[in-house]
Amino acid sequence: MVMKRAYLLGNHAVAYGLVEGGLQAAFAYPGTPSSEITEKLASLAEQYRFYVEWSINEKVALETAYGVALSGRRAAAIMKHVGLNVAADPLMTAAYTGVVGGLVIVVADDPGIHSSQNEQDSRQYALFAKLPCFEPASPQEALEMVKFSFAFSEKISQPVIIRLVTRLAHGKAAVTLGQRIELSQSTTGFKKEPSRWVMVPANARQAHRRLNETQKVVAEAMEELEFNYFQPGEEGLVIASGLTWFYVREVFAKQENNWSLVKIGTYPLPEKLLAKALKRAKKVLVVEEGEPVVEQWVERLLCKINPGATVHGKEDGCLPREGEVSVELVEKAVNQLAGKQMNPKPVPPSLLPRSPVLCPGCPHRASLHLLKKVFGRKAIFPGDIGCYTLGVNIGAIDTCLCMGAGLSTGAGLARLEPDRPVVAIIGDSTFFHAGIPALINATYNQAELVVAILDNRTTAMTGHQPHPGIGYTATGEKTTEIDLEKLCQACGAKQVIILDPYQVAESLSVLKQLKDQPGVRVIIFRRACILLEKTHHRFEITLDEDKCQGCQVCFYLGCPAIEWVNNRPVINNSCTGCGLCVAFCPHQALNKYEKNS
């Protein structure tokens, strides 16, 4: 890798950091805002000769990466914040056993909830598992930290967590790339050492003691790292972690006063460095994304070394508890503490919102409307995580909790509401990720449940990554394609039916038959994501003005290709010709014609 400067996405800088750090194998499940790291790795794998895979879920990804690390090689597991919940089980005990080769766990948090179901803070997982965590302030620092973290992980024989946030992951900057570390080939591979690797109680007790002893070593090591530093100044003190460091710097670039500043990039915090800064402070403002992790830590330190000082941040309302931090919020907090007045910031104009919608021709739209039509208003539609969650806008998704929860929530709802049909809706990738145990549980315990798997042949929402049902890998090689139909049959489903959601009439009649039958029934709606379809415009859609009654059934399908003008539908040029509106028009006013005939 020659010295090169490029305008890079934070996630791409992380990928280069992994590569430069000597990565030998990477494992990930897609999830915004983390997906681009692994996509970039997949594009570099051949050139730099490392292995990369899309794993079935984050738990499997972390465990597989752990296996690589036990063999003395450098591995990474990459996921979004809620993915770490799925991987929490191996995480907690991997901290006990430790590792041999460097193991880096990259976790992308989503403060502000841009594309997630919550805004949990992964630093708390690091504290919970007693593992070190690095939090970069910029794409360049992300590259440096990630690169460094392999060697650090090996030095302390512990996995290392890298915490990103959306604005870092999807932030961009001119980044200078470096050289890939060439590792010596002297690794001896996996060495049998049951007392270390087999966590039976006798060994686990010892391992817990080792983990606790390591804490001191790690804390000491953090004092030496330049990811933290103290910039002495006057008056107050601002402590800022991760990306917020630059928000603070920007605010003080405009201020006349020159407060002391501390940049935090590591957990555990560098307590000695902090003590120096805290000793003479009167007012301390703590700025961080997520929960008041640094703030509470600083409060504890102050009790010991400077109890007279006051701490401000998320706990006293100086900064909001929820959402993202911004330059504006930091400025407001600093001025408030300095007793300065500020001009009010402009209020966003109240304008017609533009919410995300399912694409024109999206097969999910067809599947969701078919289910609504057949199962009716009384039915409950527990949903899941994916593009189809947008079905909430058309009344076809009633719950969304976490990956795979639609099936199990559905089984629960159906158990004590036997007179209401329950139709769990889940995507193909999500089904592989966390739906399989829930399906087996439903059949084993004889739930009355319809399961609709919306099989659009990809992981669409996160940018079209492959999964076990597709037949090719992250790097594009052909592989075993898991047969969803046979899989569901093997899970014990009485009926497994494959439907093409574009075939509306046929699907309706099959679904009606299925509706009143007992047991777990699986419908696989198979139709590739419209963004992957090469042949758009299968049909041209036209309106017969005389037949149209202005009933708006077509409009309420929620398709961006159907506009409503002068009490009539107008098909705009984003139409892909899927024909759903034609099939749903109760007055046969919409017609379709083969394009090339």
> Where on the chain is the footprint of another protein (CB under 8 A)?
5-7, 9, 32-33, 36, 114-115, 138, 167-168, 170-174, 243, 246-247, 249-250, 253, 326-328, 331, 345-349, 351-359, 387, 390, 393, 461-463, 558-564, 572
Assess contact for 36 and 13: CB atoms under 8 A: no
* Residue 302 or 529 with smaller CB distance to another protein: 529
Least distance CB 427 / another protein (angstroms): 14
CA distance 556 to 548: 15
Q: How far is the CB of 250 from another protein (least distance, A)?
A: 4
**At 550, phi and psi to the nearest 5?**
70, 30
Residue placing its CB nearer to another protein in the complex, 130 or 568? 568
Dihedral over alpha carbons 65, 68, 72, 75 (to 10 degrees): -40
**If phi over 0 gives left and psi between -120 and 50 gives alpha, with beta otherwise, what is residue 113?**
left
Closest distance between another protein and the C-beta of residue 166, in Å? 9
Pick from 58, 9, 52, 10: which is nearest to 30 by CA? 58
**Shortest distance, position 189 Cβ to another protein, whole Å:** 39
Please identify, using beta-carbon distances, which residue of 114 and 420 lies nearer to another protein: 114
Q: What is the Cα–Cα distance from 120 to 580, expressed in whole angstroms?
A: 39
Whether 359 and 401 have beta carbons less than 8 Å apart is answered as no
Query: How many other C-beta atoms are found inside a 10 Å radius of the C-beta of residue 231?
Result: 14
CB of 347 to another protein, least distance (A): 8
In our burial notation (b when 16+ CB lie closer than 10 A, e otherwise), range 439-459 reads: bbbbbeeebbbbbbbbbbbbb
> Least distance to another protein from the beta carbon of 326, Å?
6
Q: 32 near 116, Cβ under 8 Å?
A: yes
Nearest to another protein of 381, 388 (CB atom): 388
Pairing verdict, β 423-427 and 449-455: parallel
| 595: number of Cβ within 10 Å | 12
Nearer of residues 308 and 348 to another protein, judged by Cβ = 348
Angle 504-515/363-375 helices, nearest 10 degrees? 40
* C-beta of 8 vs 589, nearer to another protein: 8
| Nearest distance from C-beta of residue 173 to another protein, angstroms | 5
For another protein, which is the closer residue by CB, 115 or 187? 115
Nearest distance in Å: CB 324, another protein: 9
Residue closer to another protein (CB basis): 200 or 347 = 347
Closest CA to 396 of 550, 523, 558: 558
> For residue 402, what are its two tokens?
């976490």
The nearer residue to another protein, 329 or 436, going by C-beta atoms, is 329
As measured in angstroms, the least distance from the Cβ of 348 to another protein is 6
Cβ 560 to another protein, closest distance in Å?
A: 5
Q: Which is nearer to another protein, 293 or 561 (CB)?
A: 561
Cβ 37 to another protein shortest distance, Å: 12
Distance CA 222, CA 265 (A): 9
Task: Concatenate the DSSP letters of all residues of 189-239 into one string.
Answer: -----HHHH---HHHHHHHHHHHHHHHHHHHHHHHH-TTSEEE--EEEEEE
In the bound state with another protein, the residue whose beta carbon lies nearer, of 36 and 135, is: 36
Would you give the DSSP letter of residue 459? B
Cis check: omega of the bond before 292, within 30 degrees of 0: no
Beta strands (DSSP E) in 307-362 are 310-312
Q: Which is nearer to another protein, 346 or 518 (CB)?
A: 346
- In whole angstroms, how far apart are CA 38 and each of 45, 61, 85, 282, 479? 10, 12, 19, 45, 19
By beta-carbon proximity to another protein, the closer residue of 42 and 422 is 42
CB of 240 to another protein, least distance (A): 11
Closer of 250 and 483 to another protein (Cβ)? 250
Instruction: Tell me the closest approach of the beta carbon of residue 561 to another protein, in angstroms.
Output: 8
Picking from 59, 45, 56, 137, the residue whose alpha carbon sits closest to that of residue 91 is: 59
- Shortest gap between Cβ of 257 and another protein (angstroms)? 18
Min dist. Cβ of residue 286 to another protein (A):
17
The residues facing 238 across adjacent strands are: 261, 285
Residue 136, C-beta contacts closer than 8 angstroms, at least 6 positions apart? 10, 142, 144, 145, 146, 162, 164, 168, 227, 242, 243, 265
- What is the number of residues in the chain? 597
Strands (E), 395-439: 423-427
* Nearest to another protein of 147, 167 (CB atom): 167
- Which residues on neighbouring strands pair with residue 426, listed in sequence order? 453
- 8 A C-beta contact, residue 337 and residue 284: no
